[in-house]
Amino acid sequence: MESVLAKLAQLMGAKSNNLIDLSSDTAFLRDELCTINALLKKLDSEDELDPQVKDWSNQVRELRYDIDDCLDEFDLRVGSADAKAGFTERISHFIGALRVRLDAARQMKQLRTRLQDINERRKRYRLEDCISGSHSTAIDPRLPALYKEAANLVGVDGPRDDLFRWVMEEKKQLKGVAIVGFGGLGKTTLVNEVYRKVKGQFDCHAFVSVSQRPDMPRLLNSIRSKLGQHESSCPCDVKELIDDVREYLQHKRYLVVIDDLWDTISWDTIKCAFPENNLRSRFIVTTRIESVARICCTHQECLYRLKPLNDHDSRRLLFSRTFSPNRDCPSQFKEVSAEILKKCGGLPLAIITVASLLANLPTSEKEDWEKIKNSLGSQYRTDLTLSGMRQILSLSYKNLPHQLKTCFLYLGIYPEDYIIQRDDLVRQWAAEGLVSNSGRQDAEDLAKNYFNELVNRSMIQPEETDYNGEVLSCRVHDMMLDLILSKCTEDNFITVVYHSQGMRELHNSKIRRLSLNLIGAEGVSISAVKVIGSQPQIRSLALFGNTTCMPACAHLLPQSKFLRVLVLKLGDINGKHRHEEEGIDLTGISQLVLLRYLKVEARSSRVKLPTEIQGLRHLETLETCCGFFGGLPSDIFHLPALLHLNVTPLQYGFPDGIGNARSLCTLKYFGLMENSLENIPSQT
């Protein structure tokens, strides 16, 4: 919504629009959307929305997209009309520009009417009452972890012993241990096992769980009560509660567990209640966020990063819950169980949830296990019986700031188990306008901060790091990807298609972002790919698959006039190379005037780009890994917004004129032997 509001404000500043009464409708849309945006943020913090409220927010979202498209189209058409210059063309220029503005004014009035109808509907059905109404309190999904029997725990021996050793160390100073890890890794189960084992050796002890938005007086009261003090019946302010707890603990050896802490601000308050009394007192904090863990532990060696279960413990956990603790897996289930465990990725929560499903099957047949396995894949409809696991994973998603939620959902455009390069992702976020840049910080730098924050919050798993420990690539856990795609479907954020039939079913949908995950799909028909031509409002298009569907796809690309991000990762069918003379014709991209990001990877194919692309004045990133018919566009260095140019292999070098690329930040790969003397001084 922020980017749309900025565009509306910019449009209001154009004096020429006053001639056709465009500014009044623009001002109305901006003011109404500002109010609606505040309400949407309030809705975003709700745990569960009333169906009527959800439907209303969906209507607002679609209207927001349509306003954005209208503004972009207006900008393009005005730019095209203003491009005409010269005295003899002044009249035709004026008429053309006026026609564009009249068209825009007509569309703005239609959008204003739609927005008024949406607001009237909200008032008519009194949707605010549904928002502020009482909700039933859901059971804390972490609760079962507190009551696991020690004999039933798998894979905690090593971490438990490490934690026990740290807690029982002889040092007299107050010591704090922090445990950090992905949601569902078993942090609560682990710390509760240690707590039950050692609490008897302390004068007083408490175990409290922290909500995402903690009521601090209530939390401190809970700590005080569990330590053995009487819980206050009258409301106390935070300072009084802290003073009371500190006084009570001053001469006692105490143990306090703070489970599932979400932010450092809450910790800054909670830690004030723990006095340093040199009596070997200890506190333990669990969190999903690395930066929170680092702040909470008293020494860096007291930071424990909990890892997923190894293969052996994963099998033990699955089979002990599915069959019995001492029974091996029957031979007919070994292959399918290995595939199930691969999808669970060592996540105890996932394994336990799946084991419960398997143990409760009416019959124990291999086909039944296959059905459960298929329900886990991100390309299949998620089984509702997995809702308990999703509820825990959703906690991390709900706690994300608004801007991070959108960026996180964008990960759904990539296939399962795909290694995602950080630079690709942050540039796509920036190209899509998902990064709220206030002007004080470069958009890509801000996007990198977003990426690091997702790593920090254990939402994505680091894959490759550099010598400084900076994460360069990541992977999304299968279970988290399943959550992402369910949210994308719910919000019409990204549509993912896996086969021809799925593509044909999309003709009656309004798609905003499309991921064609056709890896391994056979018999992809040209008619199925034509869905792209019926969806001109697509903003991001990613195609992962073989080259057979590219001719039809490339032919239809020019119709996607609002396309901002285009990713093509193409392979061959069963390793067979395409005929050299066929290639992939991408000359149509010259008409994608809003395109900001283009990446083509087709190692065994040759690509034909337009001879000129100077019309792509918004293009920021061009990255290719393929051969070329005819080389790069001759005017590539005249693109005003080009920031990153990564072309390999490049047999004939870059076109001349590299000195004109004033915005260029990244250039790969520049060979001295393949380039003219004119280009070389520009690089030196």
In eight-state DSSP terms, residue 653 is -
Distance CA 271, CA 240 (A): 14
Which of 344, 346, 371 is CA-nearest to residue 358? 371
Q: For residue 529, is pLDDT > 70? A: no
Which tokens hold the place of 228?
A: 């053995």
Which of 600, 652, 655, 651 is CA-nearest to residue 626? 600
Distance CA 204, CA 391 (A): 33
Which tokens hold the place of 304?
A: 């424990």
* Length of the chain in terms of residues written: 684
Task: Tell me the β-bridge partners of 516.
Answer: 497, 543
Tell me the per-residue pLDDT of 99-134, one tens digit each, with 9 for 90 and over: 767 777 788 888 888 888 888 887 777 766 666 544
Which tokens hold the place of 578?
A: 């395409």
pLDDT band, residue 251 (cuts 50/70/90): very high
Range 479-508 average pLDDT: 80
Are the CB atoms for 123 and 43 separated by under 8 Å?
no
Range 367-392 average pLDDT: 63
Percent above pLDDT 90 for the chain: 21
Distance CA 253, CA 47 (A): 39
Amino acid at 656: D
The pLDDT value recorded for residue 155 is 65
| Helices (H), ranges, 345-401 | 348-359, 366-376, 387-398
The pLDDT value recorded for residue 531 is 64
Q: For residue 673, is pLDDT > 60? A: no
Range of weakest confidence among 43-57, 266-280, 294-308: 43-57
Q: For residue 248, is pLDDT > 90? A: yes
| pTM of this structure | 0.77
**Rounded to 5 degrees, what are φ and ψ at 113?**
-60, -45
Range 337-352 average pLDDT: 83
Q: For residue 270, is pLDDT > 90? A: yes
Number of alpha carbons in the 13 Å side-chain half-sphere of residue 583 = 14
CA distances from 670 to 410, 595, 648, 667 (A): 32, 24, 9, 7
Q: For residue 459, is pLDDT > 70? A: yes
Beta strand segments in 182-262, E: 204-209, 254-261
The pLDDT value recorded for residue 293 is 93
Q: For residue 19, is pLDDT > 60? A: no
Distance CA 400, CA 397 (A): 5
pLDDT band, residue 374 (cuts 50/70/90): confident
The pLDDT value recorded for residue 93 is 58
User: Which residues lie closer than 8 Å to 649 by C-beta, 6 or more apart?
Assistant: 627
Q: Do the strands 584-585 and 597-608 form a parallel or antiparallel pair, or are they unpaired?
A: parallel
Q: For residue 143, is pLDDT > 70? A: no
Q: Is 311 exposed, middle or buried (0-12, 13-18, 19+ CB in 10 A)?
A: exposed
Range of weakest confidence among 198-207, 249-258, 336-345, 652-661: 652-661
The pLDDT value recorded for residue 578 is 47
Distance CA 448, CA 440 (A): 15
pLDDT band, residue 385 (cuts 50/70/90): very low
Tell me the per-residue pLDDT of 646-656, one tens digit each, with 9 for 90 and over: 887 666 667 77
450 versus 553: which is more confidently predicted? Answer: 450
The pLDDT value recorded for residue 554 is 67
Q: For residue 263, is pLDDT > 80? A: yes
Range 279-283 average pLDDT: 93
Percent above pLDDT 70 for the chain: 74
Distance CA 277, CA 253 (A): 8
> What end-to-end distance do the CA atoms of the chain give, in Å?
43
Range 522-542 average pLDDT: 71
Which tokens hold the place of 412?
A: 């759904």
Residue that is written with structure tokens 């019926």 in the block? 534
The pLDDT value recorded for residue 53 is 80
Range 148-168 average pLDDT: 75
Distance CA 141, CA 391 (A): 7
The pLDDT value recorded for residue 508 is 65
Tell me the per-residue pLDDT of 555-564, one tens digit each, with 9 for 90 and over: 667 778 889 9
Query: Helix 422-432 vs helix 443-456: angle between axes, to the nearest 10 degrees?
Result: 120
111 versus 11: which is more confidently predicted? Answer: 111
The pLDDT value recorded for residue 408 is 95
6-24 burial code (b ≥16 CB/10 A, e <16): ebbeebbeeeebeebebbe
Tell me the per-residue pLDDT of 57-95, one tens digit each, with 9 for 90 and over: 888 888 888 888 888 877 777 665 454 455 455 566 556
**Rounded to 5 degrees, what are φ and ψ at 546?**
-95, 175
Range of weakest confidence among 12-26, 60-74, 267-281, 652-666: 12-26
Q: Do the strands 282-287 and 254-261 form a parallel or antiparallel pair, or are they unpaired?
A: parallel
Which tokens hold the place of 230?
A: 């009487």
196-206 burial code (b ≥16 CB/10 A, e <16): eebeeebebbb
Are the CB atoms for 168 and 198 separated by under 8 Å?
yes
SS3 percent helix, strand, coil of the chain, rounded to 5, is: 50, 15, 35
Which tokens hold the place of 187?
A: 């942090």
The pLDDT value recorded for residue 88 is 52
**Rounded to 5 degrees, what are φ and ψ at 52?**
-65, -40
Which of 563, 555, 500 is CA-nearest to residue 533? 555
Q: For residue 448, is pLDDT > 80? A: yes
Q: For residue 577, is pLDDT > 50? A: no
Distance CA 486, CA 294 (A): 32
628 versus 193: which is more confidently predicted? Answer: 193
The mean pLDDT value of the chain amounts to 79
Task: Tell me the β-bridge partners of 258.
Answer: 208, 285
Range 330-349 average pLDDT: 84
Tell me the per-residue pLDDT of 593-613, one tens digit each, with 9 for 90 and over: 899 999 998 877 788 888 888
Distance CA 680, CA 654 (A): 10
Range of weakest confidence among 129-138, 441-450, 527-536: 129-138
Triad 489, 429, 450: Cα angle to 5°: 100
Torsion sign (Cα): 571, 572, 577, 579: negative
Amino acid at 201: Q
Number of alpha carbons in the 13 Å side-chain half-sphere of residue 529 = 25
